[in-house]
Each structure stands twice: as structure tokens, then as C-alpha cells.
Structure 1
Amino acid sequence: MSTQVITTIHDKRKRPIEHAWNAPVYLVLAIYAVLIAYPLIWMLMSSFKTSAEIYGDPWGLPETWLVQNYADAWERGISSYFLNSVIVTIVTAIGTVLLAALCAYGMVRITSKAANIVLILAMGGLVVAPQVSLIPLYQMLDALGLLDSLWAMILPYVAFRLPMAILLIRSVFLGIPHDLVDAATIDGCRSLGVFRHVYLPLSRSILMTAGVLTAYFAWNEFLFAIVFVNSDENRTIPAGLMSFRDALSTDWGVLLAGLVIAALPIVVVFIALQKYFVAGITAGSVKG
């Protein structure tokens, strides 16, 4: 009993020291949070200003909160750009996660050199920069008749996000106990049944993580969207916002309102799915 009391007193004495050592870490994190949040807050405030106010008083609050900037941005094309971005992002995320999960499942279940070859190819895909393949991709899409369409963005996005998604999902699949697989097989599940009823439910966090990372990439990607798509009706938000800039004058309030509309969905997705995101990243870093 006395030993427990002494231990408790010793722990209480250590807590102030630990808090003192953690104070610089918290300070650095607080400064980093301010550096990240301030540009977003400035963009949000400036989206309610006129261009004259932005130039005259860039750091102050708006004299009149111009909600009309958002209406103007929506009417000038953000509505169609937004819909295209939603379609491209959803199809890309679902396609990438589904293909990566099937590929990772095959790599885990097949014990042969073929699985190792696929793993090496997936790792090699991580070092290929999108800019390097720009011309070959353009020629390939042109030959397939897919230029200036949503598929001209979806297919390259899926291809470039597959390697990372495969490695993340595979790392979690490796940790699934074989006893569960044997039990499902005894119950009558075939290969796809094991994949559906065992692997997918136990890997929900990493699947959500791969989906969020893919959605973030597809929503903000600019290079392929501006090169492979020429028509205004097929552009996504990053490429479409370029039309808001004029050679002589730019309505910065409307442009910033468009940027807020573009940033809002992905911020909401991250906030809503952050527990899955953190759990998935943690799970994906344990096994290799």
C-alpha cells in the first residue's frame, strides 16, 4: 500500500516537469496551426470584399459583406465546374480504391513470384512524375478519342494514384489473421466472398484513407485538367477558375469566392472522415 502511495506522489511530481518539456512542442504546433489557418481565413474574409477593398485594406474586415460575390462566381461557371469536379473525384476515388483493393488482395493471397513483381511495379509507379508522361498520355488519349472529356482526367488520375493505394491497402491486408480466412472458407465463401466478407470489413479505415487521399488529388489536380480538356463545359474547378482572370482586370472578390467554394468540399470531407484517416495511416504504417 505504501509503495502505491509513493508511486502516485512520484507521478504527480513528474507531471509538471513533463508539461514543461511539452510546452515548446505545443508552442511550435500552435504557430504551425496559425500559419496554416491564416491564409484560409484571409481568403474567406477577402471573398466578401470588392477588388478595391482587397487592394486598399487587405488585412481588414470587409466594410460590406458582399455575399453577391458567391452568387456571381456560381453563375459565371462554378456550378458546372463544381459538378464536373464532383463526378471526376467520386469516380476516381471509387475506381482507385476498388482496383487497389483487388490488386492488394491478389498480392496477399497468391504466394508466388508474380506477387513480388506486381509489388515492384507498384513501387516503381511511385517515382514516375505525371509531367514526364504528359506527351505519351496526350497521344494515347487522342488515339482513343478520349480527349476533351471527363475520362481524359479520370483514367490518368486512377493510374497515378493506384501505386500508393495498393501499398497502403496491402500493408493492412497482410495483418489480417489467416484463421478468419480459413473460417470463411469452411463456411462456404469462395475467393471473392472472403474478399468481401473478411478483408473489406476489417480494412475500412485504410480504404477510407486511400479514398480521401485520392479524392484530394483528383479535386485539386490542375496539369492534366488544363492540358487534356479544352471545352469549358468539361473543365473542373482548378482549370475553370483560370477563366475568372482577365488580361486587363480581375474581380478578385469573385475569384476568391470561387476558391472558397473549391476548397470547402475537401475540407468538409477531411473533417468528417478524420478519425478514419488517422486510423488508416496508423494501420498502414505497421505492416510492410
Structure 2
Amino acid sequence: MRSKFKINIGSRLGISLISLVLIVYFLAVAYPLFWIIINSFKTTDQIYASSWSMPIQWLFSNYVEAWNNGVSKYFLNSVIVTTFSVVITVTLSALSAFGLTRFEFKGKSLILGLLAAGLMFPPQVSLIPLYKLVQTLGIYDTHWALIIPYVAFRISLILLLIRSFFLQIPKELEEAAYLEGCTTFGIFYRIFLPLSKPILWTSALLTAYYAWNEFLFANIFIDTDTTKTITVGLLSFRDALYTNWGVLMAGLVLSALPLVILFLIVQRHFVRGLAEGGVKG
């Protein structure tokens, strides 16, 4: 009885300690975001005078002004770049993962090794060669100057995640489909994709997060203001507004909203996809 009592006390203390750490971590992450949101409804004078207090008057006009002063243009560019990056990355990764999972061929182990090695190199290492390659291809200062590098640097991770998930799908389903006269692509489309929604949503979210928030390539490969994404656009947006920090913070909130909404929509699939996508290698 005493040992059980000690175990219960120990487990409760452990849970309480973990809960306390998580609460502190949540406050450390959430409060700066809350601070930006409340200050996005203030004037610059109010921010300097009382940045930690609630707004005296909620200025929703800051969001309208931010949107009209250029955020709408940068927002659209980010949507285009992120959408194409997600669609191409997930599509190519799913098709490649299917081939690497269900077919045997020479060089398969080498391909998997190269994919794993691709995770070890940060994008910054290839900045100069990529810059020359983008100019040689004639895609400098276009959306493709960002889409192609984003796909290239995310496809290794996404492919390996999807492959790990595909390995868990029973081969009996595939054999039964073959007996029913289903083609190889039909098996991929009718069996693998419907069963793999959690990892596909997870892959889409991870790719969207990277493409939406990426700054280095967007700052170097894009020159004109009409093509800039929102991460780089907000930098020039700040310079254009000088000290209008309320409008700038409204722009920051607008830039963060899409990813927050996307995560809230797919969070159930995201947690399941991460859990099941890392079971096998």
C-alpha cells in the first residue's frame, strides 16, 4: 500500500511539474503574440506611452490601412508561392514515396541515403550557386525563383515522412486491388492517398510553414516590389511607414493569420501524421 501511495504521489508530482513547465512555455510564447495583437489597435503615441495596456480606442482602421498600403500585394504573392510549393512538394513526394515503398530496383538504397543526406545541409550553404542558377534559368525576380528552391529543400523531409507512413499500409490491400483489376496508379490514387490523409496534411502544413515564413531566398532572389512575399514585403513596409508601428503590427498579425488558421483546421491530422509517420524508416 505504501509503495502504491508513493507511486501515485510521484506520478502526480511529475504531472504537476510537467504541466507547470508547459504553462510557463505557453505564456512565454503566447504573450508576445498577444502584445503584438493589442498594440496593432493603437496609435504610435499610445504604443510608446502605454505599450502594456489595453487600447483606449480599438483602431480597426490600422488593418485597413495596412492592407491598402501593400500588405494585400505581398499577401497574394505569398499565397501563390506557398500554394505552388505545397502542391508540387506533396505531389512529387507522394509519388516518389510510393515507388520507393512498393517497388524494388537497383540504386534504391542509394536514393534513400541521398535523401537522408539532403536533410543535413542547410539552404544557406547553396545560396551562391542557387543565385547563379536562378539567373541562368532566367527566373530571377519571379515566383519560380522561390518555388523551385522551396520544393528542392523540403522534398527530402516530406518524402521520407510519407514513405514511413506508406510502409504501414498492409500489402494485402494492394494485392486485393490487383486481383480486382486495379492498375498501379489506381492503387496509389484509390488506396494509398485516402489512407494517408494525416501524413499528407502534415506534409502540407510543414511545407506551407517553411514557404510562408522563409526570408533569405525571398530577400535575395526577388528584387521588384510587385513580386515580394509578405516576409520581405513587411521589411520595406516598415521603412515606408516610418514610425507608424500600429499599422506595422497590424500587418504582422495579418501575415500570421493564414498559418494559424491552417493549423487549427488540420491540427488533428497533424498530430496523428507526425506520430504515425515516424514509426518505420
* 1:87, distance to aligned residue in structure 2 (A): 1.1
Taking a change above 3 Å as real, the CA distance of residues 21 and 132 of structure 1, as seen in their structure-2 partners, is closer
Structure 1 window deviating more from structure 2 (105-114 vs 237-246): it is 105-114
Q: Which one of the candidate residues 38, 45, 57 is aligned to 1:52?
A: 45
Q: Give the counterpart of 2:116 among 101, 123, 138.
A: 123
Quote the Cα distance in structure 2 between the aligned partners of 1:189 and 1:134: 45
Q: 1:238 pairs with 231, 234, 241, which one? A: 231
Cα shift at 1:285? 1.5
Shift of 1:205: 0.5
Deviations 1:54-93 (A, max 9, x none): 1221211112211111111101110111111111111111
Paired with 1:65 and 1:189, the residues of 2 have a C-alpha distance of 60
* C-alpha distance in 2 between matches for 1:53 and 1:164: 45
Question: Residue 253 of structure 1 aligns with which residue?
Answer: 246
Helix, strand or coil at the partner of 2:83:
helix
What corresponds to 1:143 in structure 2?
136
Indicate the residue corresponding to 1:228 in structure 2: 221
Residue in structure 1 matching 2:25, options 3, 20, 32: 32
Q: Which runs of 5+ in 2 are unaligned?
A: none
1:198 aligns with 2:191: yes
Write the distance in 2 (CA, Å) between the matches of 1:27 and 1:106.
46
The letter of the residue matching 2:25 is Y
Q: Equivalent residues in 2 for 1:10-89 (5 A)? A: 18-89=11-82
Structure 1 residue 112, shift from structure 2 partner: 3.0
Normalising by structure 2, report the TM-score.
0.95
Answer with 1 or 2: which has the greater Rg: 1
Indicate which of 126, 130, 133 corresponds to 1:133: 126
State the distance in 2 between where 1:208 and 1:22 align: 31
Structure 2 CA distance for aligned equivalents of residues 85 and 248 of structure 1 = 21
SS at match of 1:112: coil
Displacement of 1:244 after TM fit?
1.9
Return the TM-score normalized by structure 1. 0.92
Cα contact 2:70–2:237 (8 A) shared by 1: no
d(CA) in 2 for partners of 1:156 and 1:127?
A: 16
Flag as ranges the 4+ runs of structure 1 deviating above 2 A.
10-21, 245-250
Following superposition, the deviation at residue 249 of structure 1 comes to 3.3
Kept in 2: contact 1:244–1:250 (CA 8 A): no
